[in-house]
Structure 1
């Protein structure tokens, strides 16, 4: 954190600096957007690469748009380029952080609490991606979500893997997609209302959702942080589907065979690595909210 931010003073970016940051962000994001948009025009879907664009509500144009975050003053910036949340002053353009926090007070505090409580909990690394298996449990090939792709095992063997597992899914937005007969097999029953109590930092979906929380906090957080969260979520999705019951080998995704001891060990090791990287992003999001609070003084809703 710079000295200016630590004392609640704006960081000043000259036009050349913020133009360079914006261009770098757009180049990075375009590497993800270009193939996705081409598939969308062609009417095709990719079960791994398109997931973050179809499951989450952040549109491609929103991901590409650059924001500096709270507490940054942009020299020689046109307010029309950045939107109604920005205010022009004698020194340059800044985000009206106080207005954004006032308008979004409830949601910002909900996200901040979730991030902080998740960060304090120990991670659990024994789920082995069984949530994806529970989503196809006792379904036919036509009924499964990604029915354009075959399952690796026959229906009875797939069901056997689920029934022999100790399913402990703590993430509501994964659990809610379990098939009806799979839900009683889960040791937990997470709900939206209990999300703050259940979320834990080893969960692949909780760590993938850092992308969601980062874009929901935009423009309070810098767009580079949103892109970092997207990049991690993209890698997590790859593991998620490699460990799933789907056979995606023809797409270049060799399976992580969690039905075997070797596959479970491979999955747990990757899960721990993602948890470590997600912890850094979670801390950065909390720090960005802290900067937003300092930008408006001690009366802000953000702790």
Structure 2
């Protein structure tokens, strides 16, 4: 596949970079302020603490493959991983010849070094999309993480359980637990693990992920940033913002009392709460399907090393 080339002048790409930086700062600046004062937020810290992408990395704007950046400021990217000076053929093909210093993503180097990540993303995105969505979990994974928890190993020691310990345990015991996502299941308490009807593992993750799962849809952000800078940063942030909203809803349906944090509960222990949960879940699944397809198309467009 021959990659089409286009160019962005200094002013055009710096405008996009500034817009991206502002978009990231909306989320990153409050987190960094809390971190500097040793404060925690159970919802809004999550994407920066659970995932490995750091705020500074997220704030770096990347145009993706096939874009030649011109202007003196572009040369700073020669110190960034996977960028190089554009050659004369690329300058001519992109229309940037004669516009001064120019850099481009070193896509050949990227696909050689990130082959495993690319292959895994292609598999997980495609197989997840191909499965029917399941909407019967009701967010009970968060409840299973604190089921009969040891008083000396409280998961979030600064949060209160909305129904108390006994009430929380009762909800787990009276409901069907059917989590398909390993990275939620692995945090279950030992007493809850055997209650799950499925047995997700890292090894069978490719066969278990399904598009109704909140955590599978949050992880679109993970697959996106793992393929950066070979994806446009705008797509990475679209995934980030969906993940942010999913996390908020996930914690609203959790056993924790987050009302004082500005997150009213979704009471999944009631029929009405379960219906609300499924409605949100279906909406997020529809949004995630669009992003998953955008990611899949972007991954499939990457050359084979």
Q: TM-score range by the shorter chain?
A: over 0.9
Tell me, which stretches of 5 or more residues in structure 1 are unaligned? Answer: 1-5, 294-299
Q: Distance in 1 between matches of 2:17 and 2:26?
A: 15
Residues 214 and 246 in structure 2, CA contact (< 8 A), matched pair in contact too: yes
Residues 224 and 295 in structure 2, CA contact (< 8 A), matched pair in contact too: yes
TM-score, normalising length: structure 2: 0.92
Higher relative contact order (CA 8 A, sep 6+): 1
The aligned counterpart of 2:84 is 87
Residues 79 and 86 in structure 1, CA contact (< 8 A), matched pair in contact too: no
Q: Distance in 1 between matches of 2:117 and 2:2?
A: 26
Structure 1 residue 183, shift from structure 2 partner: 0.6
Residues 124 and 201 in structure 1, CA contact (< 8 A), matched pair in contact too: yes
Residues 168 and 255 in structure 2, CA contact (< 8 A), matched pair in contact too: yes
Match among 137, 147, 150 for residue 157 of structure 2: 147
Q: Distance in 2 between matches of 1:249 and 1:184?
A: 31
Tell me, which stretches of 5 or more residues in structure 2 are unaligned? Answer: 92-101
Structure 1 residue 218, shift from structure 2 partner: 0.4
The aligned counterpart of 1:19 is 14
Secondary structure of the corresponding residue to residue 104 of structure 2: strand
1:167-213 per-position Cα deviation (integer Å, ceiling 9, x unaligned)? 11000000000000101100101100100000000000000011111
TM-score, normalising length: structure 1: 0.92
The aligned counterpart of 1:241 is 251
Structure 1 residue 135, shift from structure 2 partner: 0.1
Q: Distance in 1 between matches of 2:248 and 2:151?
A: 21
Q: Distance in 2 between matches of 1:159 and 1:172?
A: 21
**In angstroms, what is the RMSD of aligned CA positions?**
1.4
Q: Map 1:1-303 to 2 at 5 A.
A: 8-76=3-71, 78-81=74-77, 83-89=80-86, 90=88, 91=91, 92-140=102-150, 143-293=153-303, 300=304
Structure 1 residue 99, shift from structure 2 partner: 1.0
